[in-house]
């Protein structure tokens, strides 16, 4: 038998670190961007609620390649986003870490917005009305009543958003490519290893992902207050 | 059409009253009221479910922004749709007690109590200790809301509203979600509120007993309109109310304990125009009590009955005769000196006795409900 010491290479470790960094940045951005969207969706009676809700949910059903393709076009030199970023002087986003972040924000959006929206809807108007009769202004009501009451929803949203970003592949490949230390995340690294017939390395990374994903879901499903009540 | 018998309050009285004129229209529901409510005491907004009483209370609180109208509280304008004036709820100096206690579940009782209080600027007219004592919740302060009983939760909610030193306290059926025993547990606290604090209370209820026990002024609502308003005793003694209310028809009388009969364990209660004897009370002679006499518990005799077990007989005069809730019954308004009583008898008895206005009769009172038991 051949000598065989499967171990993560330097490149693999940097892919792991990059994945972690990407998921963290995306999760933070999504919590900031997703909360107002979830708030609006949970409370509006506007006719736009349906269309906006559907738009947010699109990544749930769309092949990631479709999303990646359109993002690539939009962020490319002739796309509207690309023209805008060039005008801003930050160049083009595809094949950069920033591009990955943008793509992932869209891709993981429903996983963050929906648990928060569900939490807001379950809490309802009453606690806010109570707070209003106790002299709390709208911002005060949001931060002292809604946020604490919706905490389980936010935790679920953060876990799902993080885990889902870690697991993405199609969007990354379309708009990020495979640049070490910039856009080469774990899922792409596994793909590379398999292409190169380095099954042992692919195994290590895959097993790591498997265990990580299982632990995340275990944490989610073991929590006392589930958003899927 | 309003049948209110109360004269329009004079304009100089506006500084001490609450003027509420609202029109809210939803599919299948219209609230259309124009009220001038007393700025003191307990005003009951009374009606069946769907009568608009809760909507009216929410309009006063500023929780229904769709409501068009004008609201001024003791001269301060809180809403004037014609001038696009709308003071948001959190800037109105009011307290609101919802039907369900709605305590903040993530805060302890004490934190719930100070949530509103610390957001109110200026001097507190109600001290935190006063609110806690009045509702008897001193032993609950460190608990979380999920470890309180329904009655305790509602007491905390009332204290929480009081602790903001509101200038107007709005209560939306605060007892409706509670069983009879819990109701009995809270009612005395509400009475103390009435007696000890100078805060006007608007109290939404569909329970005649609660209204009879707590209210000074009554607004009767039906299908979004005011069908009657006025002082508690005058309003309940009226016969011209919609038949929907006559099933529960009855009067409230303020009486004073006049004497106790230790042999038979009875107490005599005096009121202007007569007296009734009830099972012995614990209260001392001179104590004031409210008692309610249901129309269905009053029968009429032409002569003073003898050989009857009914102890409470009052000489009275027939004032008015009106239709009741069923075609088989009529309501008779009786005057026993200064006190008005309503009797609900069958139409057959009416004809057999040949009752007419001005006729002297004897009112036989089968039962008296003492409010406060």
Number of Cβ pairs < 8 A linking chain A and chain B = 58
Token pair listed for A75: 């962020």
Secondary structure class of A199 (helix, strand, coil): helix
Q: What is the mean pLDDT of residues B88-96?
A: 95
Residue A133 to residue B90, Cβ atoms within 8 A: yes
Question: Which residue out of A119, A123, A125, A135 would a mutagenesis test of the B interface target, given it has the greatest number of B Cβ atoms within 10 Å?
Answer: A135
Q: What is the mean pLDDT of residues A95-107?
A: 92
Four-residue CA torsion sign, B90, B92, B94, B100 = negative
Asked if the C-beta of A152 comes within 8 angstroms of chain B's C-beta atoms, the answer is: no
Sheet-wide strand order for B225-231? B94-97, B168-172, B201-205, B42-46, B217-222, B225-231
Least confident span in A117-121, B220-224, B237-241? B237-241
Q: Note whether residue B6 is domain-resident.
A: no
B317: left (phi over 0), alpha (psi -120 to 50) or beta: beta
The reply to whether B167 and B263 lie within a common domain is no
What's the rounded Cα separation, in Å, for the pair B216 and B120?
29
Q: Give the chain B residue whose CA is nearest to the CA of A145.
A: B104
The confidence score (pLDDT) of residue B10 equals 43
The confidence score (pLDDT) of residue B323 equals 86
Domain containing A191 equals 10-43+52-222
User: Where would I find the H helices in chain A?
Assistant: 10-43, 49-57, 64-75, 80-88, 97-123, 126-133, 138-141, 147-149, 151-166, 170-175, 186-195, 199-222
- Kindly indicate the confidence band of residue B272, based on its pLDDT and cuts at 50, 70 and 90: confident
- Name the domain boundary from B217, B243, B269: B243
Q: Angle CA(B195)–CA(B200)–CA(B206) in degrees, nearest 5?
A: 90
Least confident span in B53-62, B71-80, B243-252? B243-252
Asked if the C-beta of A222 comes within 8 angstroms of chain B's C-beta atoms, the answer is: no
Q: Provide the domain count of chain B.
A: 2
Q: What is the mean pLDDT of residues B288-309?
A: 87
What's the rounded Cα separation, in Å, for the pair B202 and B236?
18
The reply to whether B204 and B142 lie within a common domain is yes
Which one of B62, B88, B119 has the shortest CB-CB distance to A134? B119
- The answer, yes or no, to whether residue B7 has pLDDT greater than 50, is no
**Of A153, A155, A186, A156, residue with least CA distance to A22:** A186
What's the rounded Cα separation, in Å, for the pair A44 and B78?
26
Token pair listed for B32: 């259309």
Q: Give the chain A residue whose CA is nearest to the CA of B168.
A: A133
Tens of pLDDT, residue by residue over B10-22, are 445 567 899 999 9
Q: Note whether residue B349 is domain-resident.
A: yes
Q: Note whether residue B3 is domain-resident.
A: no
Q: Which residues in chain B touch residue A149, judged by CB atoms under 8 angstroms apart?
A: 104-106
User: Which helix (H) or strand (E) is B236 found in, with range?
Assistant: helix B232-236
**Of B177, B210, B166, B244, residue with least CA distance to B44:** B210
The confidence score (pLDDT) of residue B372 equals 63
The reply to whether B47 and B189 lie within a common domain is yes
The answer to whether A178 touches A192, Cβ cutoff 8 Å, is: yes
Residue A144 to residue B90, Cβ atoms within 8 A: no
What's the rounded Cα separation, in Å, for the pair B325 and B306?
31
The reply to whether B233 and B316 lie within a common domain is no
Q: What is the mean pLDDT of residues A89-109?
A: 91
Secondary structure class of B96 (helix, strand, coil): strand
Separation of CA A82 from chain center: 22
A133: left (phi over 0), alpha (psi -120 to 50) or beta: alpha
What's the rounded Cα separation, in Å, for the pair B263 and B244?
43
What's the rounded Cα separation, in Å, for the pair B354 and B348?
10
Q: Note whether residue B4 is domain-resident.
A: no
Tens of pLDDT, residue by residue over A34-84, are 999 999 999 998 999 999 999 999 999 999 889 999 999 999 999 998 999
The confidence score (pLDDT) of residue A224 equals 56
Kindly state the DSSP code that residue B284 receives in the 8-state scheme. P
Domain containing B283 equals 250-371
The answer to whether B196 touches B169, Cβ cutoff 8 Å, is: no
The confidence score (pLDDT) of residue A229 equals 35
Asked if the C-beta of A126 comes within 8 angstroms of chain B's C-beta atoms, the answer is: yes
Question: Which residue out of B89, B116, B146, B158 would a mutagenesis test of the A interface target, given it has the greatest number of A Cβ atoms within 10 Å?
Answer: B89
- The answer, yes or no, to whether residue B9 has pLDDT greater than 50, is no
Q: Note whether residue A1 is domain-resident.
A: no
Secondary structure class of B268 (helix, strand, coil): strand
Q: Give the chain A residue whose CA is nearest to the CA of B63.
A: A129
Q: What is the mean pLDDT of residues B97-114?
A: 94
Residue A135 to residue B90, Cβ atoms within 8 A: yes
What's the rounded Cα separation, in Å, for the pair B84 and B167?
24
The reply to whether B29 and B168 lie within a common domain is yes
Q: Note whether residue B20 is domain-resident.
A: yes
- Kindly indicate the confidence band of residue A1, based on its pLDDT and cuts at 50, 70 and 90: very low
Q: Note whether residue B318 is domain-resident.
A: yes
Q: Note whether residue A125 is domain-resident.
A: yes
Residue A130 to residue B98, Cβ atoms within 8 A: yes
The answer to whether B31 touches B56, Cβ cutoff 8 Å, is: yes
Residue A135 to residue B106, Cβ atoms within 8 A: no
What's the rounded Cα separation, in Å, for the pair A93 and B129?
62
In chain B, which among 78-107 make CB contacts under 8 A with chain A? 88-91, 94-96, 98, 100, 102, 104-106
CATH code where residue A152 lies = 1.10.3720.10
Q: Which residues in chain A touch residue B98, judged by CB atoms under 8 angstroms apart?
A: 126, 129-130
Which one of A126, A135, A141 has the shortest CB-CB distance to B102? A126
What's the rounded Cα separation, in Å, for the pair B177 and B152?
12
What average pLDDT does chain A have? 89
Tens of pLDDT, residue by residue over B182-219, are 777 788 888 888 777 888 999 999 888 888 888 899 99
Q: Note whether residue B312 is domain-resident.
A: yes
What's the rounded Cα separation, in Å, for the pair B255 and B289?
5
Which one of B98, B106, B119 has the shortest CB-CB distance to A135? B119
What's phi and psi for B149, nearest 5 deg? -75, 165
CATH code where residue B341 lies = 2.40.50.100
* Distances A145 to A53, B100, B113, B158 between C-alpha atoms, Å: 25, 17, 14, 19
The reply to whether B218 and B271 lie within a common domain is no
| A1-5, B5-9, B217-221: which is most confident | B217-221
Q: Note whether residue A4 is domain-resident.
A: no
Secondary structure class of B279 (helix, strand, coil): strand
What's the rounded Cα separation, in Å, for the pair A186 and A15?
5
Least confident span in A168-172, B123-127, B299-303, B326-330? B123-127
- The answer, yes or no, to whether residue B8 has pLDDT greater than 70, is no
Q: Which residues in chain A touch residue B163, judged by CB atoms under 8 angstroms apart?
A: none
Q: What is the mean pLDDT of residues B77-104?
A: 94
Asked if the C-beta of A11 comes within 8 angstroms of chain B's C-beta atoms, the answer is: no
What's the rounded Cα separation, in Å, for the pair A180 and A184?
5
Q: Note whether residue A81 is domain-resident.
A: yes
The confidence score (pLDDT) of residue B243 equals 54
**What residues have CB less than 8 Å from B76, skipping those under 6 apart?**
none
Which one of B89, B104, B120 has the shortest CB-CB distance to A132? B89
Asked if the C-beta of A124 comes within 8 angstroms of chain B's C-beta atoms, the answer is: no
- Kindly indicate the confidence band of residue A225, based on its pLDDT and cuts at 50, 70 and 90: low
- Kindly indicate the confidence band of residue B324, based on its pLDDT and cuts at 50, 70 and 90: confident
The confidence score (pLDDT) of residue B309 equals 81
- The answer, yes or no, to whether residue B275 has pLDDT greater than 90, is no
What average pLDDT does chain B have? 87
Q: Note whether residue B1 is domain-resident.
A: no
Q: Provide the domain count of chain A.
A: 1
The confidence score (pLDDT) of residue B104 equals 96
Token pair listed for A222: 């073991």
- Polymer length in residues for chain B: 373
- Tally the C-alpha atoms within 13 A of residue B59's C-alpha that lie toward its C-beta: 29
What's phi and psi for B270, nearest 5 deg? -100, 145
Residue A149 to residue B105, Cβ atoms within 8 A: yes
- Give percent of chain B with pLDDT exceeding 90: 49
What's the rounded Cα separation, in Å, for the pair B346 and B330?
6
Token pair listed for B271: 């009121």
- The answer, yes or no, to whether residue B247 has pLDDT greater than 70, is no
């Amino acid at each position: 038998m051949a000598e065989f010491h499967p171990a993560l290479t330097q490149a693999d470790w940097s892919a792991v670190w990059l994945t972690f960094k990407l998921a963290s940045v995306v999760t933070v951005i999504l919590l900031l961007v997703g909360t107002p969207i979830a708030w609006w969706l949970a409370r509006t009676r506007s006719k736009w609620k349906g269309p906006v809700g559907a738009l947010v949910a699109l990544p749930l059903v769309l092949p990631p390649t479709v999303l990646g393709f359109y993002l690539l076009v939009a962020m490319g030199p002739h796309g509207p986003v690309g023209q805008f970023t060039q005008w801003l002087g930050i160049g083009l986003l595809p094949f950069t870490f920033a591009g990955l972040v943008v793509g992932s924000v869209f891709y993981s959006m429903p996983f963050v917005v929906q648990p928060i929206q569900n939490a807001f809807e379950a809490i309802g108007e009453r606690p806010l009305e109570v707070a209003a009769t106790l002299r709390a202004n709208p911002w005060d009501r949001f931060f002292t009543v809604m946020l604490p009451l919706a905490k389980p929803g936010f935790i679920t949203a953060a876990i799902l958003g993080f885990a889902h970003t870690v697991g993405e592949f199609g969007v990354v490949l379309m708009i990020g490519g495979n640049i070490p230390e910039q856009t080469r995340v774990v899922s792409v690294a596994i793909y590379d290893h398999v292409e190169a017939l380095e099954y042992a390395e692919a195994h290590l990374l895959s097993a790591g992902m498997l265990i990580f994903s299982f632990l995340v879901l275990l944490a989610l499903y073991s929590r006392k207050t589930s958003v899927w009540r | 059409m309003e049948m209110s018998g109360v004269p329009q309050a004079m304009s100089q009285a506006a500084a001490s009253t609450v003027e509420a004129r609202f029109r809210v229209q939803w599919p299948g529901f219209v609230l259309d009221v124009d009220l001038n409510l007393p700025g003191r005491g307990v005003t009951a907004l009374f009606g069946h479910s769907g009568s608009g009483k809760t909507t009216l209370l929410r309009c006063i609180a500023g929780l229904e922004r769709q409501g068009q109208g004008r609201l001024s509280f003791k001269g301060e304008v809180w809403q004037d749709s014609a001038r696009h004036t709308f003071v948001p709820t959190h800037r109105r100096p009011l307290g609101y007690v919802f039907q369900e206690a709605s305590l903040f579940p993530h805060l302890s009782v004490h934190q719930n109590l100070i949530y509103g209080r610390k957001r109110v600027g200026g001097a507190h007219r109600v001290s935190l200790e006063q609110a806690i004592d009045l509702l008897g919740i001193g032993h609950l302060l460190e608990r979380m809301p999920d470890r309180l009983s329904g009655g305790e939760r509602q007491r905390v909610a009332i204290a929480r509203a009081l602790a903001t030193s509101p200038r107007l306290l709005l209560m939306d059926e605060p007892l409706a979600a509670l069983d009879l025993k819990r109701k009995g547990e809270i009612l005395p606290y509400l009475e103390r509120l009435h007696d000890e604090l100078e805060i006007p209370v608007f109290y939404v209820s569909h329970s005649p007993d609660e209204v009879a026990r707590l209210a000074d002024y009554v607004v009767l609502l039906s299908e979004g309109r005011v069908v009657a308003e006025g002082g508690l005793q005058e309003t309940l003694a009226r016969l011209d109310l919609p038949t929907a209310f006559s099933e529960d028809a009855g009067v409230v009388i303020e009486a004073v304990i006049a004497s106790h009969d230790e042999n038979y364990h009875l107490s005599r209660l005096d009121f202007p125009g007569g007296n009734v004897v009830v099972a012995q009370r614990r209260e001392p002679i001179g104590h004031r009590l409210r008692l309610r006499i249901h129309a269905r518990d009053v029968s009429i005799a032409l002569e003073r009955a003898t050989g009857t077990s009914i102890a409470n007989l009052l000489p009275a005069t027939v004032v008015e005769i009106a239709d009741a809730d069923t075609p088989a019954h009529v309501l008779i308004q009786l005057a026993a000196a200064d006190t008005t009583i309503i009797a609900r008898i069958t139409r057959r008895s009416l004809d057999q006795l040949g009752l007419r206005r001005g006729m002297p009769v004897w009112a036989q009172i089968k039962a008296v409900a003492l409010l406060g038991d």
